[in-house]
């Protein structure tokens, strides 16, 4: 099913049983699979009647090694949020990791890097506004879920719960968080003007990056 040495994992709404036919994505994580992007495009076309798309994130075994924030976050994600489908399973797959600030930083401590990437994509218009808005909404609300987890000493990756709860903690961000959720779920498609507003230095995303950095910290 997969090239020798390559592995494939399932995560997201399909893995949790909350996917909606024709609306949800099929989210896959590949390890050491060089054809991940091409395969994702092919599967998206084949199963366009069943899902919005087949997204195959590409990673390498080396991405899980070491004590850095990114490698640690990768191991936490693989252990607690992914279902093994094919290929060799990592030897450390049985380890358990605490749901703490380090895990939240490992997941989303690169939020500031994503902000710069989103600004580049918006300026270059190499992706549509709706697609960029969806990326911004999904990543940012996952980071907000990390902030909720640390603030409330619980653990969640639910974007809806994150938007609602952080709106209580910082009411001034409530309307913006609701807008991000609409972008992330396709309820509303972002416009270029709306994206420019949230990415501005005085906009919503830099404000969340600053709060995340203060509460949890960014990647070293």
Using the 8-state DSSP alphabet, how is residue 95 labeled? -
Question: Measuring CA to CA, which residue among 76, 86, 79, 80 is closest to residue 56?
Answer: 86
- Class of the CATH-defined domain 7-97: alpha beta
Residues 141-150 have a mean pLDDT of 96
Q: pLDDT grade, residue 1 (50/70/90)?
A: very low
Reported as a single tens digit per residue, the pLDDT across 192-217 is 999 999 999 999 999 999 999 999 99
Reading phi first (left if > 0) and then psi (alpha if -120 to 50, else beta), residue 11 is in beta
Domain ranges for the chain: 7-97, 106-215
For residue 3, pLDDT beyond 70: no
Residue 4 has what pLDDT?
Answer: 63
Residues found in the chain? 220
HSE-up of residue 136 (Cα within 13 Å, Cβ side): 38
Question: Measuring CA to CA, which residue among 180, 153, 187 is closest to residue 164?
Answer: 180
- Rounded Cα distance, 77 and 28, in Å: 12
Residues 125-142 have a mean pLDDT of 92
Reported as a single tens digit per residue, the pLDDT across 36-56 is 999 999 999 999 999 988 999
CB 204 within 8 A of CB 180: yes
CB neighbourhood size of 73 (10 A) = 23
Q: Is 193 exposed, middle or buried (0-12, 13-18, 19+ CB in 10 A)?
A: exposed
What is the pTM for the complete model shown?
A: 0.82
Residues 14-18 have a mean pLDDT of 87
Question: Measuring CA to CA, which residue among 186, 177, 182 is closest to residue 204?
Answer: 177
CB 205 within 8 A of CB 121: no
What residues form DSSP beta bridges with 211?
none
- Rounded Cα distance, 41 and 87, in Å: 21
């Amino acid at each position: 099913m997969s090239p020798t040495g390559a592995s494939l994992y399932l995560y997201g709404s399909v893995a949790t049983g909350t996917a909606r036919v024709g609306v949800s994505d099929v989210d896959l994580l590949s390890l050491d699979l060089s054809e991940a992007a091409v395969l994702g495009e092919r599967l998206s076309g084949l199963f366009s009647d069943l899902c919005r798309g087949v997204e195959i994130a590409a990673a390498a075994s080396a991405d899980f090694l070491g004590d850095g924030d990114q490698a640690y976050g990768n191991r936490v994600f693989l252990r607690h949020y992914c279902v093994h489908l094919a290929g060799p399973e990592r030897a450390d797959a049985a380890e358990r990791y605490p749901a703490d600030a380090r895990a939240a930083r490992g997941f989303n401590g690169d939020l500031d890097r994503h902000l710069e990437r989103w600004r580049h994509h918006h300026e270059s218009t190499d992706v549509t506004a709706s697609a960029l808005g969806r990326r911004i909404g999904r990543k940012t609300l996952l980071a907000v879920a990390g902030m909720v987890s640390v603030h409330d000493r619980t653990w969640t990756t639910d974007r809806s719960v994150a938007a609602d709860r952080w709106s209580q903690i910082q009411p001034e961000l409530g309307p913006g968080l609701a807008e991000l959720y609409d972008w992330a779920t396709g309820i509303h498609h972002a416009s270029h003007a709306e994206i420019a507003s949230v990415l501005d230095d005085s906009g919503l995303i830099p404000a969340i990056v600053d709060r995340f950095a203060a509460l949890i910290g960014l990647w070293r």
